[in-house]
């Protein structure tokens, strides 16, 4: 690093020593690094999810499965149920595969290159674990870091094309010592000061080095292209109740909400509306509509309530009767948890 780059790292680390967020997966600035398992688990959970949403999940997971061996040995359906509500369920399936691989190795690999070889562990997470858990110099770029660096150097190219330049600039300012603290300091700066709208430049430790601030419009960065309109899909979910229990199915292991318990539906997907077909013949009535947003599409899902009593056809399909009194233990994804609440409200 040249003198200006060294000054950036020094200023940021000095600020971090007094303003680091206290988070359950972290060690205080300058202290011994946290266990790799806690760093890895937190980074998997934090992908596209807020810190506030992740904290209770992280605490429940680490209380129930305190190390990677315990997580690797747990039944996958229990892990998926515990994950319910956190979203992006492919992360959970990848997490299970990675935990099993690490348990088989006996420990987490210590280098970024070796970490990349684990199943389901991408470039960002490998860099974060290498830097934070093992103190290796690695270039860690999440959305917060991306925003800070784009403003710090006033990178004009729109995202996603700008990511190559952002990574190169992050590489330039990442120090060889305290790389983990530096990565977390960048994350904290983006989360608390260099925020997407109305950045708090007056109290930013990097304000004197920030090209975007000196130009007078830091909120302009990172430059983004206009968003494309998300398509809206339509589908139906089916509430079939008998003797204080509801019929639940297990979704296919791959694809949307894979491996999760859910209400039966009519086959809607990210690419197409549902067929409208129902699992039973007979009396159905409308129970309302659930609106839900996925990353690439919105879903308008009608809830259909079965009012008949001929359940024999269900015996030819895979599913289970789940007690209504224990529905919160089923681990329903948010979409189907919404539908269940609607059905129960209609029923009451």
Give the model's pLDDT for residue 283.
87
Question: What are the structure tokens assigned to 19, written together?
Answer: 């303003």
Q: Is 320 a catalytic residue?
A: no
- Structure tokens that stand for 241 in this block: 């109740």
Which of 70-74, 161-165, 175-179, 317-321 is the least confident region?
A: 317-321
Instruction: Dump pLDDT digits (tens) for 263-275.
Output: 999 999 999 999 9
Instruction: State percent of the chain over pLDDT 70.
Output: 98
Q: Give residue-wise pLDDT tens across range 26-48.
A: 999 989 999 999 999 999 999 98
Q: Could you give the CA distance from residue 324 to residue 244 in angstroms, rounded to a whole number?
A: 6
pLDDT of residue 176 exceeding 70: yes
The answer, yes or no, to whether residue 20 has pLDDT greater than 90, is yes
Who's near 82: CB < 8 A, 6+ residues apart? 57, 60, 61, 64, 331
Calculate the average pLDDT of the chain.
93
Nearest to 293 by CA among 331, 244, 334, 322: 334
What residues have CB less than 8 Å from 337, skipping those under 6 apart?
A: 84, 85
Closest by CA to 71, choosing from 99, 43, 97, is 99
Count CB-CB contacts under 10 A for residue 143: 14
Q: Which of 78-82, 100-104, 229-233 has the highest mean pLDDT?
A: 100-104
229-253 pLDDT, tens digit each: 889 999 999 999 999 999 999 988 7
Active-site annotation holder among 5, 7, 32, 43:
43
Please tell me which residue, 22 or 260, carries the higher pLDDT value.
22
Which range, of 82-91, 124-133, 176-185, averages the lowest pLDDT?
82-91
Q: What pLDDT, on the 0 to 100 scale, is given for residue 343?
A: 93
At 57, list the tokens.
Answer: 């999940």
Mean per-residue pLDDT, 290-315: 90
pLDDT > 90 in the chain, percent: 79
Token code pair at residue 230: 């998300």
Cα torsion angle, 53, 195, 35, 113, sign: positive
Structure-token pair, residue 62:
């680490």
Confidence of residue 70 (pLDDT cuts 50, 70, 90): very high
Residue 129, phi then psi, degrees to nearest 5:
-65, -45
Q: What is the CATH number of domain 232-347?
A: 3.90.79.10
pLDDT at 3 over 60: no
How large is the average pLDDT for residues 311-338? 88
Residue 329: pLDDT over 60: yes
**What's the start-to-end Cα distance of the chain, in Å?**
66
pLDDT digits (tens, 9 = 90+) for 113-157: 999 999 999 999 999 999 999 999 999 999 999 999 999 999 999
* CB-based contact 273:237 (threshold 8 Å): no
Q: What is the pLDDT of residue 348?
A: 58
Please tell me the distance from the alpha carbon of residue 56 to that of residue 115, in angstroms, as a whole number. Answer: 26
Query: How far apart (Å, rounded) are the C-alpha atoms in residues 21 and 28?
Result: 9
Residue 290, pLDDT score:
95
For residues 118 and 102, the answer to whether their CB atoms sit within 8 Å is: yes
Give the confidence band of 318 by pLDDT, cuts at 50, 70, 90: confident
Q: What is the pLDDT of residue 309?
A: 85
**What DSSP line would sit under 318-337, residue for residue?**
S-EEEEGGGGGGS---HHHH
Domain-wise residue ranges, the chain: 3-220, 232-347
Q: Output b/e per residue, 49-85; b: 16+ Cβ within 10 A.
A: eeeeebeebbeebbeebeebbebbebeeeebbbbbbe
Non-local CB neighbours of 140 within 8 Å, separated by 6+ positions: 124, 127, 128, 131, 132, 170, 174, 183, 186, 187
CATH classification of 3-220, choosing from 2.40.160.10, 3.30.930.10, 1.10.340.30, 2.130.10.10? Answer: 1.10.340.30
């Amino acid at each position: 690093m040249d003198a200006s780059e060294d000054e950036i790292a020094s200023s940021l680390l000095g600020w971090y020593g007094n303003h680091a967020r206290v988070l359950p997966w972290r060690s205080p600035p300058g202290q011994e690094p946290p266990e790799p398992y806690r760093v890895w688990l937190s980074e998997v959970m934090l992908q596209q999810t807020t810190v506030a949403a992740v904290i209770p999940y992280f605490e429940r997971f680490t209380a129930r499965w305190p190390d990677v061996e315990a997580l690797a040995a747990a039944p996958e359906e229990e892990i998926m149920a515990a994950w319910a509500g956190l979203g992006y369920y492919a992360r959970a399936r990848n997490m299970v595969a990675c935990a099993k691989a690490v348990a088989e190795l006996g420990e987490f690999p210590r280098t970024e290159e070796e970490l990349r070889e684990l199943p389901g562990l991408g470039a960002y997470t490998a860099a974060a674990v290498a830097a934070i858990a093992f103190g290796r110099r690695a270039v860690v770029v999440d959305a917060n870091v991306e925003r800070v660096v784009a403003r710090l150097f006033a990178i004009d190219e729109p995202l996603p094309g700008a990511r190559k330049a952002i990574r190169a600039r992050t590489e330039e300012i990442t120090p060889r010592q305290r790389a983990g603290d530096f990565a977390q300091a960048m994350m904290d700066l983006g989360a608390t000061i260099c925020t997407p709208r109305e950045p708090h430049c007056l109290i930013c430790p990097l304000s004197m080095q920030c090209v975007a601030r000196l130009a007078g419009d830091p909120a302009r960065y990172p430059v983004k292209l206009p968003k494309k309109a998300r398509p809206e899909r339509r589908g139906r979910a089916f509430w079939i109740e008998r003797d204080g229990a509801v019929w639940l199915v297990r979704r296919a292991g791959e694809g949307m909400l894979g491996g999760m318990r859910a209400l039966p539906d009519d086959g809607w997907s990210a690419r197409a509306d549902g067929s409208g077909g129902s699992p039973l013949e007979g009396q159905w009535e409308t129970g309302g509509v659930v609106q839900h947003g996925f990353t690439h599409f919105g879903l308008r899902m009608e809830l259909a309530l079965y009012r008949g009593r001929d359940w024999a056809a269900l015996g030819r399909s895979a599913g289970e009767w789940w007690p209504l009194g224990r529905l919160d233990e089923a681990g329903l994804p948010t979409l189907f948890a919404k539908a269940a609440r609607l059905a129960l409200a209609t029923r009451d």
